[in-house]
C-alpha cells in the first residue's frame, strides 16, 4: 500500500462486516457523520483509516473500501474487555461525564489501554507518508498523539475529543491524569465540543503540568528541553445534513411517518426520545417527569404517546445492565398504571433502526426530548431539526449537552430538575404553531449553516495554521 498523506485513527473502522447468504464476508460503510465528512477529502488526498474491525481475535490485512484504505488493528478478547469495555467505557466514560456512574480504576485496564494505544500509533506511523497528517479521534486513544510524535516528529497531528472533558476537581481523580494530558498534548491541535471543555483541559494542563497557557495556546515542554506550541479549543461537531433533508422529503418516508402516527392511535401529540441506552442520556429522568404528568392528570394517555428508542449499547458493562433493568421497570410501571386497550403511554423500543425509519420517527414526532445529564454534543438534536422542513415541532434540550451552546431557540431544561422537565414538556406540548415555527426556523438555520463539512474544514484549517508546510 502507498504511504498515505492523511491518516484517520479511530477506535472503529468506518465499515461493518456483513455476511452474505452463502456466508461470504463483505463490508458495508457505516453511515456515521465522521465518514461522510472525511470521505471526499480522503479519496482526493490518498487517505487511510486505522481502526478496529469490531471482532476480537481476528487478524486482517489492510483492504480498500469505497476508495479509502482501511487498516485493521487487531484486538484480543481480553484487550476488548480491558482496554475498550474497561478503561474506555468504565473508567474514562463515567469520569468524563461528571461521574454520573462511579468510574472503576484498575491498573491492569490502564496497562491494556497503553498497549493498545501503542498498537494504534504504530499502525498510523506505518501508514503515513513523510510530512503527512494524522487525525486521532476520541477518548479511547488519548495517548496516541504523543506516541505518534515520538516515533514520527515530521507528522502534523490533530486530536478531536467527542465527549466532554471534566472540571479539574473531577479529572484529578484519574490515577494516570498526567500521562493522559501528555498523551493529548502530543497533538498540534486538540479539539473539543464546547469552549468549556477546552477551558477545563487547559486548566488541568496548567495546574498539573505547570505548562504556560496563553488563551488557547500551550507551550509544551519536550523531554529534550525544547518547546513547541499546541492549540486547544472548541470545534462543535455537526451532522451531514443532506441525507436527512433528502429522506425527510421522500414520499415513502412521509407515508411511513403517517403510518407510525396511525399505529399509535393518532394521538394529538407524539413525544420522542432517541438514545443509545446509556446512563448519560437522562432517559430515566425523562420517563419520570412524563409519568408524573400522566399521574397528575396534566397529560392524558388518550392524547399523548412517548416513543422511546433505546438502542442497545455496551451490554457487557455492568452499569448498562443495571440501567436497562431500571428503565424497563419504570416503563412497565407507567404503562401498567395508565394504558388503555387502545392507547399506550410509552412505546419503548430496545432496538436499532435503519436511517429511513429514524427519519420517519423524527417526522412523526411533535416534540423531541433530549434530556442528557451530560453529552459532548448530541447529534440526535441536530438530526431532528434538520428533518423539520415545515418548521413545525419542538426541541426540548438539556443545557448539559454541547448542542445547547448552539441551539439557543430550543426549550432548555436542567434534567435534574424534574419539575422543570415537566414544565418544559407542557410548554412544548402546548406551544402554538407560530411559536414553533419562529423557533424552528432559527434552529434550522443554525444546523444547516454549520454542518459536518464546516466542522472538519475548520479543524483542518486550524491544523494547517499551526503547522504550515
Ligand atoms: C458521541 C458523544 C457526540 C441512535 N440510535 C440509532 C441511530 N442512532 C444514531 C443517532 C445519532 C447517533 O447514533 C448518536 O449520536 P449522539 O451524538 O446522539 O450520541 P453518542 O452515540 O453518545 O455519540 C456525543 C457524538 O459522539 C459525536 O461527536 O455528539 O456527545 O457521546 O446519529 O441518529 N441510528 C440508526 N438507528 C438507531 O437505532 N440508524
Q: Ligand 1 centre from 223 Cα, in Å?
A: 39
Measure Cα distances from 157 to 12, 37, 73, 180, 295 in Å. 19, 18, 19, 16, 54
Residue that is written with C-alpha cell 388518550 in the block: 302
Q: Ligand 1 centre from 378 Cα, in Å?
A: 7
> Looking at domain 4-237+453-466, what is its CATH homologous superfamily?
Glycogen Phosphorylase B; (3.40.50.2000)
Ligand 1 binding pocket (C-beta < 6 A) is 162-163, 237, 274, 276, 309, 311, 352-355, 358, 375-380, 383
Q: Ligand 1 centre from 25 Cα, in Å?
A: 26
The Cα–Cα gap between 71 and 53 comes to 9
Question: Candidates 32, 89, 196, 276: which one to mutate for ligand 1, based on the most atoms within 8 Å of Cβ?
Answer: 276
pLDDT of residue 469: 60
pLDDT of residue 2: 76
- How many Cβ atoms from other residues are within 10 Å of residue 139's Cβ? 22
The Cα–Cα gap between 74 and 59 comes to 6
Answer for the pair 78, 113: CB distance below 8 angstroms, yes or no: no
Identical fold at 4-237+453-466 and 241-449?
A: yes
pLDDT per position as a tens digit, 276-335? 999 999 999 999 999 999 999 999 999 999 999 999 988 888 889 999 999 999 999 999
pLDDT per position as a tens digit, 45-97? 889 999 999 899 999 999 998 778 999 999 999 999 999 999 999 999 999 99
Report DSSP state, residue 281: G
pLDDT value at 234 more than 80: yes
Answer for the pair 198, 405: CB distance below 8 angstroms, yes or no: no
pLDDT of residue 468: 62
pLDDT of residue 33: 62
Q: Ligand 1 centre from 274 Cα, in Å?
A: 9
Q: Of ligand 1's atoms, which has the minimum distance to the CA of residue 237?
A: 28
Tell me which residue of 385, 372, 371, 374 sits closest to 449, measured CA to CA.
385
pLDDT of residue 45: 80
Question: Candidates 29, 378, 401, 452: which one to mutate for ligand 1, based on the most atoms within 8 Å of Cβ?
Answer: 378
Alpha-carbon Rg for the chain in angstroms:
23
Answer for the pair 168, 196: CB distance below 8 angstroms, yes or no: no
Q: Which residues contact 44 (CB under 8 A, 6 or more apart)?
A: none
pLDDT of residue 65: 86
Mean pLDDT for the stretch of residues 128-157: 97
Residue that is written with C-alpha cell 429514524 in the block: 358
Q: Ligand 1 centre from 341 Cα, in Å?
A: 34
Q: Of ligand 1's atoms, which has the minimum distance to the CA of residue 162?
A: 28
pLDDT of residue 19: 81
pLDDT value at 37 more than 80: no
Tell me which residue of 153, 151, 162 sits closest to 119, measured CA to CA.
151
Answer for the pair 185, 145: CB distance below 8 angstroms, yes or no: yes
Element (H, E) at 326: helix 318-338
pLDDT of residue 42: 78
Q: Of ligand 1's atoms, which has the minimum distance to the CA of residue 381?
A: 18
Spell out the domain ranges in the chain.
4-237+453-466, 241-449
Q: Of ligand 1's atoms, which has the minimum distance to the CA of residue 239?
A: 32
Over pLDDT 70: what percentage of the chain? 99
Report DSSP state, residue 401: B
Mean pLDDT for the stretch of residues 269-277: 97
How far the first Cα of the chain sits from its last, in Å, is 24
pLDDT per position as a tens digit, 371-407? 999 999 999 999 999 999 999 999 999 999 999 999 9
pLDDT of residue 32: 66
Mean pLDDT of the chain: 95
pLDDT value at 31 more than 70: no
Measure Cα distances from 330 to 117, 310, 313, 424 in Å. 39, 14, 19, 21
Answer for the pair 339, 347: CB distance below 8 angstroms, yes or no: no
Question: Candidates 98, 376, 397, 398: which one to mutate for ligand 1, based on the most atoms within 8 Å of Cβ?
Answer: 376
The Cα–Cα gap between 311 and 283 comes to 12
Answer for the pair 67, 49: CB distance below 8 angstroms, yes or no: no
What pLDDT band is residue 170 in, cutting at 50, 70 and 90? very high
Mean pLDDT for the stretch of residues 183-208: 98
What 78-84 contacts at long range (C-beta under 8 Å, 24+ apart), as own/partner pairs, is 78/112, 79/112, 79/115, 79/116, 80/56, 81/316, 82/106, 82/108, 82/109, 82/111, 82/112, 82/113, 83/109, 83/112, 83/113, 83/115, 83/116, 83/140, 84/11, 84/140
Tell me which residue of 60, 78, 77 sits closest to 69, measured CA to CA.
60
Q: Ligand 1 centre from 1 Cα, in Å?
A: 33
Residue identifier of the C-alpha nearest atom 9 of ligand 1: 380
pLDDT per position as a tens digit, 199-224? 999 999 999 999 999 999 999 999 88
Report DSSP state, residue 277: S
Beta strands per DSSP E along 116-237:
128-137, 156-160, 189-192, 212-214, 217-221, 227-234
Assign residue 87 a region: left if phi > 0, alpha if psi is -120 to 50, beta otherwise?
alpha
Q: Ligand 1 centre from 379 Cα, in Å?
A: 6
Q: Ligand 1 centre from 187 Cα, in Å?
A: 26
The full length of the chain comes to 469
What pLDDT band is residue 44 in, cutting at 50, 70 and 90? confident
What pLDDT band is residue 21 in, cutting at 50, 70 and 90? confident
Match domain 241-449 to its CATH number in 3.40.50.920, 3.40.50.170, 2.130.10.30, 3.40.50.2000: 3.40.50.2000
pLDDT of residue 16: 80
Amino acid at each position: 500500500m502507498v504511504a498515505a498523506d492523511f491518516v484517520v485513527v479511530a477506535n472503529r473502522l468506518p465499515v461493518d462486516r456483513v455476511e452474505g447468504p452463502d456466508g461470504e464476508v463483505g463490508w458495508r460503510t457505516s453511515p456515521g457523520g465522521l465518514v461522510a465528512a472525511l470521505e471526499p477529502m480522503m479519496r482526493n488526498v490518498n487517505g487511510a483509516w486505522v481502526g478496529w474491525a469490531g471482532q476480537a481475535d481476528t487478524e486482517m490485512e489492510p483492504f480498500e473500501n469505497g476508495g479509502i484504505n482501511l487498516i485493521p488493528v487487531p484486538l484480543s478478547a481480553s484487550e476488548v474487555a480491558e482496554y475498550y469495555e474497561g478503561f474506555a467505557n468504565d473508567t474514562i466514560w463515567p469520569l468524563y461525564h461528571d461521574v454520573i456512574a462511579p468510574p472503576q480504576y484498575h491498573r491492569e485496564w490502564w496497562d491494556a489501554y497503553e498497549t493498545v494505544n501503542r498498537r494504534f500509533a504504530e499502525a498510523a506511523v506505518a501508514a503515513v507518508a513523510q510530512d503527512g497528517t494524522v487525525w486521532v479521534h476520541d477518548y479511547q486513544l488519548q495517548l496516541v498523539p504523543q506516541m505518534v510524535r515520538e516515533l514520527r516528529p515530521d507528522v502534523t497531528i490533530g486530536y478531536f475529543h467527542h465527549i466532554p472533558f471534566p472540571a479539574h476537581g473531577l479529572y484529578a481523580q484519574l490515577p494516570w491524569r498526567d500521562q493522559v494530558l501528555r498523551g493529548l498534548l502530543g497533538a498540534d491541535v486538540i479539539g473539543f465540543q464546547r469552549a468549556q471543555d477546552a477551558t477545563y483541559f487547559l486548566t488541568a494542563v496548567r495546574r498539573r503540568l505547570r505548562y504556560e497557557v496563553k488563551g488557547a495556546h500551550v507551550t509544551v515542554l519536550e523531554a529534550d528541553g525544547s518547546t513547541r506550541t499546541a492549540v486547544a479549543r472548541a470545534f462543535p461537531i455537526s451532522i451531514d445534513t443532506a441525507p436527512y433533508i433528502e429522506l425527510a422529503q421522500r414520499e415513502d418516508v412521509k407515508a411511513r411517518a403517517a403510518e407510525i402516527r396511525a399505529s399509535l392511535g393518532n394521538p394529538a401529540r407524539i413525544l420522542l426520545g432517541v438514545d443509545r441506552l446509556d446512563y448519560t442520556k437522562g432517559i430515566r429522568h425523562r420517563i419520570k417527569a412524563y409519568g408524573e404528568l400522566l399521574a397528575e392528570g396534566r397529560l392524558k394517555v388518550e392524547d399523548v404517546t412517548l416513543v422511546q428508542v433505546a438502542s442497545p449499547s455496551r451490554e457487557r458493562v455492568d452499569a448498562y445492565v443495571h440501567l436497562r433493568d431500571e428503565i424497563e421497570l419504570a416503563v412497565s410501571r407507567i404503562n401498567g398504571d395508565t394504558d388503555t386497550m387502545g392507547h399506550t403511554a410509552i412505546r419503548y423500543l430496545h432496538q436499532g433502526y435503519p436511517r429511513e425509519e429514524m427519519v420517519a420517527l423524527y417526522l412523526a414526532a411533535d416534540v423531541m426530548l433530549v434530556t442528557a445529564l451530560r453529552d459532548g454534543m448530541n447529534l440526535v438534536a441536530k438530526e431532528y431539526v434538520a428533518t423539520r422542513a415545515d418548521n413545525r415541532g419542538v426541541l426540548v434540550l438539556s443545557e448539559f449537552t454541547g448542542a445547547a451552546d448552539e441551539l439557543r431557540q430550543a426549550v432548555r431544561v436542567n434534567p435534574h430538575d424534574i419539575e422543570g422537565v415537566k414544565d418544559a414538556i407542557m410548554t412544548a406540548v402546548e406551544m402554538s404553531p407560530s411559536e414553533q415555527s419562529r423557533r424552528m426556523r432559527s434552529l434550522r438555520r443554525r444546523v444547516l449553516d454549520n454542518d459536518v463539512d464546516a466542522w472538519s474544514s475548520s479543524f483542518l484549517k486550524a491544523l494547517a495554521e499551526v503547522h504550515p508546510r
